[in-house]
Chain A
Amino acid sequence: MDNNDLLVEVKNLQTYFYLDEGTVRAVDGADFNIRRGEILGVVGESGCGKSVTARSIIRIVAKPGRIVGGQILYHRRQNGNGQGEVIDLTQLSAQGDVMRNIRGAEISMVFQEPMTSLSPVHTIGNQIIEAITLHQRVDPQEARAKAIEMLDFVGMPLPDRTIEQYSYELSGGMRQRAMIAMALSCHPSLLIADEPTTALDVTTEAQILTLMRRLQRELGMAIMYITHNLGVVAQMTENVVVMYMGKVVEQADVDTIFHNSLHPYTQALLHSIPHMGTKSIERRRLASIKGMVPDPYALPRGCAFHPRCSDMRPGICDEIEPQMIEVAPGHRVRCDRAAGLA
C-alpha cells in the first residue's frame, strides 16, 4: 500500500466505558486503515464497537466512555505543496481547536436516526449554514448560497424552499439527504456514515446509497460505512472490516470477504443472509449464529468468539487470544486455525 494513500490508521484502539457495573471494553484493540477515496465497510452485530470506533475517530465518545489506548493517525493533506502532516487524534483535546477544526470539516459524520438527528426547533438551513460558517470564512449570504447548493447537490427538490423548512416537515429520506448535505458542506476527506439507512425503508435506502456512491465519486472523499447489512456492504464498499466484541476479526477486500472469507464469524454472518434462487437447498432454514453476544462485562477468555464458534478447539481457543495474521496482501484474519497455522 502506498503510504501516500493512507488517510486514517487506527492502531490498537481501545475505548472503554467505566460504568458502575464494571468496565465495558466497547473497542478493545481495533486495527484498520482507511485509504484516501475508498469506501470502507465496517460490519458486525449490534454492540460490537462499530459506532464507538467511529465516535472515537471524531472524538465525540460520550461519558463515561474514554479512549484508553492506541492511536488514530490522521494523515492531513496540507494545501498546495502536497506536504502532509500526521496527527494522532487520540492525543488531541476533544474540545481543543485542532480537533474541532478537523471534526465536521475534514472528518464528518452522518448518523443513524434522521428523524431525531436534526434539531426540531431550527430550520434545515440554519443547521447547514452553521456548519459552513463554523469552518469557512464566508459571509452569511455566501453561506446560505452554499447551503442551497449543497441541498441541490444531494438531490433535494426545491432546495431554496427546503432551506427554510423544519426537519419534521420532511420525510425520513429527505432528512437524511439534509444530514448528508450538512456533513459534506465543508468537503471532508472522510465521511463516517453510521448506519445511515437503517431507519429508512428499502426504496429510500436504495436512493440514499446511490446518492452516497455518486457523491463519493464526485468529491473523491473516503467513506467509512458502518452497517450490519451485508447486502449494503456488497453494493457499496471496496474493503471490509468485520468487528466482533471490540476487535477486528477479519479485514479484506469485498470480493474476498464474500467468496473467500476465513474467519468463522465472517462465514457465520454470510450464512445468515437469505439467498434468492438457491434451488439446490430447498426450503433451507436461514442459518443463525448460535449462542448470544457475550456479556460485555465478562468477556470470555481466549478468542471472544469461541463460545459460539463451530470449530472451537478446547484448550486453545478458550485459552489463548489469537493475533491478527496477514494471510494474503490486504487480507488479515484473527484466527490461527483459519489462517492455516494450526
Chain B
Amino acid sequence: MLKYILKRIGIMVPTIIVISMISFAIIQLPPGDYLTSYVAGLRQMGDNVDEDEIAALRERYGLGQPIYVQYYKWVSGIILRGDWGQSMEWRKPVKDLIWERMALTVALSLVAVLVSWFVAIPVGVFSATHQYTIPDYLFSAVSFIGAGLPGFLIALVVMWVAMRQFGLNVGGLFSQEYMVAPWSWPKVVDLLKHLWIPVIVIALGSTAGSIRTTRANVLDELNKPYVETARAKGLRERKLVWKYPVRVAMNPFFSTVGWTLANLISGQTLVAYVLSLQTTGPMMLRALMSQDMYLAGSFLLLLSTLTVIGTLISDILLAWFDPRIRMEG
C-alpha cells in the first residue's frame, strides 16, 4: 500500500510541473497583455496615458521579457519565497488576495459536498432497493428536476423567496458590517447565518446527480450473485444491502473526489455571482478576462494541483476500499 502511494506521488510531481507550464503558456496566448488592455481602457474613457508610467509598470511586472523568463521568475518566486506574483488589476500580491477567498470557498463547498452525499446516498440506496415503487418515482422526478435546473436559477428563486416571504437579505456570505472586519467570533456566527442558502443551492444540483448515480450503481450490484450468497446466509436485508452492494457501488464516489476538489474552487461561479459570494470563482473569471496573468495563473496552478491531489486521494480511497485495485498498483 505504501509503495503504491509513493509511486503515485512520484507521478504527481512531473504532472504538476507540466501543467503549470502549459497553463502559463495558455494565459499568454491571447494577443497583448494586461497593460495593453489597461491602456486601451483608459484611452477609451478619454484619459491621458503617461507613457513613462506604463513603461515602469511593464518593467516592474517583467512583461517585456521572453515567456520562459517570465515563467521562471514566477515559479521560482512561488517555490523559493512563497510569492505568487502581483495582481495587476488589484495592485496587490496574489497571495493576499486568494487565501481568504480560498478558505471561504473550500469551507462552503466542502459543507455542500458533505450535505449532498449525506442526502444522496441514503436516498439513492432507498430508490434502488425500492425500484419502481411510488417513492422511487417521486425521488426520481425530484432529482431529474434538480439535475435539470441550473444552479443560478435556483439561487435566484431562493433569494426571491427569502426576500419576499421572510424579508431576509440573503446575498453574500457576510452582513455589511462584517464584510471587511477582521475575523472574530461574531463574524463566524454571521458567516454561518449566511452559509445555509449557498450550501442548499450548491448541494441541490450535485445531490440530484448523486442520487441518480447511487441508484444506478446499487441497482447494478443488487442482482449480483454475492448478494444472493449473503441473503442465503440469513443476513437481514438492510444489513446485507449496506454491507455488500452499497459498498461496491460507492467506488464511483471515491473516483470523483479528484475533480470534486477542483470544483470546490472553480465550480459554481455563476451561483457565486448571483449570490454575490466572496469565493474564488468570480475572481478567477475576472482575472482571466482582464489578462491579470499572475492572478489567473495562480488560480490555474492551484486548480490543477488540487485536481492532481484529488486524484491521488481517489486512488488511495479506491485502493483502500477495493482490494482488486491494490493488486494492480
Contact = CB atoms under 8 A, between A and B. Distances in A.
B317 to A, nearest CB: 13
Interface string A303-339: 0000000000000000000000000000000000000
Nearest to A169: B327
Interface in B211-239: 223-226, 228-237
Given A60-B232, A104-B232, A166-B324, A116 B224 contact: yes
A169 B328 CA distance: 12
B59 interface: no
Given A62-B223, A121-B323, A166-B323, A108 B248 contact: no
B258 to A, nearest CB: 20
A100 interface: yes
Interface footprint category on A: 20 to 34
A179 B230 CA distance: 11
A253 interface: no
A80 B127 CA distance: 47
A112 B232 CA distance: 13
Nearest to A131: B233
Given A116-B224, A119-B226, A121-B321, A109 B232 contact: yes
Contacts, number: 78
Given A117-B226, A119-B244, A121-B247, A168 B232 contact: no
Interface in B167-200: none
A59 to B, nearest CB: 9
B233 A103 contact: yes
A58 B225 contact: no
Interface string A104-124: 110011011100111111100
B229 A130 contact: no
Contacts of B248: 119-121
Interface in A131-151: 131, 134-135
B323 A134 contact: no
Given A118-B226, A119-B226, A103 B232 contact: yes
A120 B235 contact: no
Contacts of A103: 232-234
Interface residues of B, number: 23
Question: Could you tell me the dominant secondary structure of chain B's interface residues?
Answer: helix
Interface string A62-84: 10000000000000000000000
A168 B327 CA distance: 10
A102 B225 CA distance: 20
Contacts of B247: 119, 121
A95 B237 contact: yes
A100 B228 contact: no
Contacts of A112: 225
A101 interface: yes
A18 to B, nearest CB: 13
B100 interface: no
A194 B323 CA distance: 28
B96 interface: no
Contacts of B322: 120-121
A135 B226 contact: no
Contact of A105 (B228, B231, B234, B236): B234
A134 B235 contact: yes
Contacts of B224: 116
Contacts of A118: 226, 229
A58 B244 CA distance: 20
Nearest to B322: A121
Nearest to A64: B132
Nearest to B244: A119
A121 B321 CA distance: 7
11 contacts: A95-B236, A111-B232, A112-B225, A113-B225, A116-B226, A117-B226, A120-B248, A121-B248, A130-B233, A169-B327, A183-B232
Given A105-B234, A121-B322, 14 more contacts: A60-B232, A100-B235, A103-B232, A103-B234, A111-B229, A111-B232, A117-B226, A118-B229, A119-B229, A119-B247, A120-B226, A120-B248, A122-B244, A130-B235
5 shortest interchain CB distances as A-B pairs? A104-B234, A104-B233, A103-B234, A100-B234, A117-B225
